[in-house]
Chains A and B, each alone.
Chain A
Amino acid sequence: MSDASAGTSTAGSGTPDVSLAYESGVELQARSQWAYARMRFFRHRLAVASLIVLVLIALVGVFAPQLAPYGYDEIPLDDITASQNRPPTFDGWHLFGTDQLGRDYLSRVMYGIRTSLWVAIFVALVSTAIGTTIGALAGYYSGQVDNLLMRLTDLMLTLPGLAVLLTASVYLGSGEPLKIGLILALLFWTAVARIVRGLFLSLREREFVEAAKAAGASDLRIIVRHMLPNCLGPIIVNTTLVVAAAILVEAALSFLGFGIQPPNAALGKLVSEGQAEGFELWWLVTFPGLVIVLIALCVNFVGDGLRDAFDPTQRRIRA
């Protein structure tokens, strides 16, 4: 079990083990498919541009303490009347304006990106790891595991996801990014599990799996070395989509007051704090939200590019 999850975490990181290439003809073919996928992805200009924007945004988040012109909660006590309630201006680099306490919203948004992006990526990786492991086991062994998984996801589908999350965050406690990340991951893993299960069910019948079985390979080896590499495309695409969904859901939770709480920064929380200060200070609501849109949009474009790259039969609009 621990070995299997080690295998899936390689899957999550998106770089196949090089030694896989020597395993059999199947993986050799998979490798050349990787080269193809890379080529097709880089032909997708919008996806590449989005990836660049995303990396820049992520860098801003990572280096927020170094890059931000002001501190997250820095209140200019000496000069408060001159600094408060300022619309976006180059004066003092308040590009996103300031609030009633004179706090610089550009700096706050930078710290918000740091937290929100971290949570989203955490959710995507953890839910992919859990979902892939469970989906693989359910698909490979069928029977009871599979039945349990399907019943569980049925159960999940009978309730609105947001309501489950809200309830969970009230009763499990929230506020910290790690807790919110774990709660979100608990909701998102089922989708991954369903996808991987479906792929495994069909891969199980394929000749190279039969061949590996006949050659006496262990179940674990078949799952990790032979079947998982063939599921990487859909898994990676789905992981990307989870990042986008998690950004939006975390923002909604934090906005409603059930997600990340001060002193932690989060983009959704910044929007709700901005709302509390009244619509005359429109910039407080506008900019954190715009950043959420930009991140989610770029992640979706990257996901679209990846889908095209891995599944060229499903041609989509090339923009």
Chain B
Amino acid sequence: MLSYVVRRLLYSVVVLVAASFLVFTFVSASGDPLAQLNVIPNLSEQSRQNVIDRKHLDEPIPVRYGYWVKDAVTNQFGTTLLGDRPILPDLWRVMKNTLQLVLIAEVLAILVAIGIGVHSARRQYSAFDYTATTVSFLGLATPVFWLALMLQVLVVQVYEHTGYKVFPIASLNSVDPGTGIHFAVDRAHHLVLPILVLMVASVASYSRYIRASMLEVMGSDYLRTARAKGLAERQVTMKHAFRNALIPLVTLVALSFGSLLGGAIVVETVFSLDGMGLYFVNALRANDPYPVMAWLMVTATMIIVFNLIADIAYGYLDPRVRHE
């Protein structure tokens, strides 16, 4: 088990290094980081040269990559192109916010999806099942950004007609959120809509998956054996069907982590939340390759770690898969 984890991690490091080199080369070769300096009026030749020296922009790409790696490892991913703020502290801050948003949304989505999926499977072809299917098709066809906007439109319309602000439609907190429990309540109030939006796609796809996997398990021979023992239907479902049906969900959830971050990019942009997604979009808009690189590396690491955790969890849940 331990050697499996170590081997996986070593492989991941190789993947990360390869990915970082590829992305760095791509970004450096196709973009001109000085382009944005050129549009700043009255920029002295001196400060222009400073940026070039600091980021070694006159060196060939592999050398610059070397400097970048050194910065990344020893110096908190270095600084942004123009400023002298180190990147990592900012990244940590937004990462915490994003993880809060994404993890709450994901846990709720899984719980809701399990409820819907299992119920749909047990009452296959019932009105509930048809409704759930239709709604999940709708959920999968709805762009995340549009759903977020429609909720904002709704809140604004309600406000205009009743004068009542149901939910805030922007930022993580009020201007003066208070402390302790007040802060938490304020934060929760602000996160309701973003979480709702992030949940929709997850619930739609997970519930479909759970339904299919429950149906498959429920038709299996070992469930017939469980019934033949005289077990009550409830025990048959909960003890025998449930676990077998949910094991594959672990992999699905882990693999969805990347697209969940994609959803966070959109949701945070629409709701102006100080998270990784907005940070990334702003870095791209500023045409600054350094925070973009740092973001991609941190994200890739997170995805790798999540996949590894999922793999290990899978090994514990399914006795047939034991990593030797």
Which of A161, A256, A293 is within 8 Å of B259, CB to CB? Answer: A161
**Chain A contacts with B in 146-184, Cβ cutoff 8 A:** 154-155, 157-163, 166-167, 170-172
Q: Is the CB of B284 within 8 A of A166?
A: yes
- Which residues of A lie under 8 Å from residue B164 when comparing CB positions? none
Chain A 248-263 interface mask (CB, 8 Å, partner B; 1/0)? 1001100111100000
Provided the pairs A158-B303, A171-B27 are in contact, do residues A252 and B149 lie with their beta carbons within 8 angstroms?
no
Q: Is the CB of A161 within 8 A of B156?
A: no
Which of A161, A167, A289 is within 8 Å of B284, CB to CB? Answer: A167
How distant is the Cα of A154 from the Cα of B258 in the complex, in angstroms?
A: 13
Interface segment, one of B38-46, B135-143, B233-241? B135-143
- Which residues of B lie under 8 Å from residue A268 when comparing CB positions? 143, 145
A301 is an interface residue with CB less than 8 A from chain B = yes
Q: Is the CB of A159 within 8 A of B19?
A: yes
Which of B27, B146, B284 is within 8 Å of A285, CB to CB? Answer: B146
Q: Is the CB of A275 within 8 A of B140?
A: no
Q: Is the CB of B27 within 8 A of A317?
A: no
A271 is an interface residue with CB less than 8 A from chain B = yes
**Chain B contacts with A in 145-162, Cβ cutoff 8 A:** 145-146, 149-150, 152-153, 156-157, 160
Which of B130, B152, B262 is within 8 Å of A279, CB to CB? Answer: B152
- Which residues of B lie under 8 Å from residue A306 when comparing CB positions? none
Q: Is the CB of A160 within 8 A of B141?
A: no
Q: Secondary structure of the B side of the interface?
A: helix
A214 is an interface residue with CB less than 8 A from chain B = no
Which of B269, B287, B300 is within 8 Å of A256, CB to CB? Answer: B269
- Which residues of B lie under 8 Å from residue A155 when comparing CB positions? 15, 18-19, 22
**How many B residues, CB 8 Å from partner?**
51
B133 is an interface residue with CB less than 8 A from chain A = yes
- B140 smallest CB distance to A (angstroms): 6
Q: Is the CB of B259 within 8 A of A162?
A: yes
Provided the pairs A256-B266, A271-B146, A317-B130 are in contact, do residues A296 and B31 lie with their beta carbons within 8 angstroms?
no
How distant is the Cα of A175 from the Cα of B22 in the complex, in angstroms?
A: 24
Chain B 123-137 interface mask (CB, 8 Å, partner A; 1/0)? 001000110011001
Q: Is the CB of B304 within 8 A of A296?
A: no
Chain B 266-278 interface mask (CB, 8 Å, partner A; 1/0)? 1001000000000
The residues of A with any CB-CB pair to B shorter than 8 Å are 154-155, 157-163, 166-167, 170-172, 244, 248, 251-252, 255-258, 268, 271, 275, 279-280, 282, 285-286, 289, 292-294, 296-297, 300-301, 317, 319
- Nearest 6 interchain pairs by C-beta: A162-B262, A289-B146, A296-B141, A297-B141, A279-B156, A160-B258
Can you pick out 30 interface pairs between chain A and chain B where the beta carbons lie within 8 Å of each other? A155-B15, A157-B258, A158-B15, A158-B16, A158-B258, A159-B19, A160-B262, A160-B299, A161-B258, A162-B261, A163-B261, A163-B265, A167-B284, A171-B26, A244-B141, A251-B143, A257-B285, A258-B284, A275-B149, A282-B157, A289-B143, A289-B149, A296-B140, A296-B141, A297-B137, A297-B141, A300-B137, A317-B129, A319-B133, A319-B134
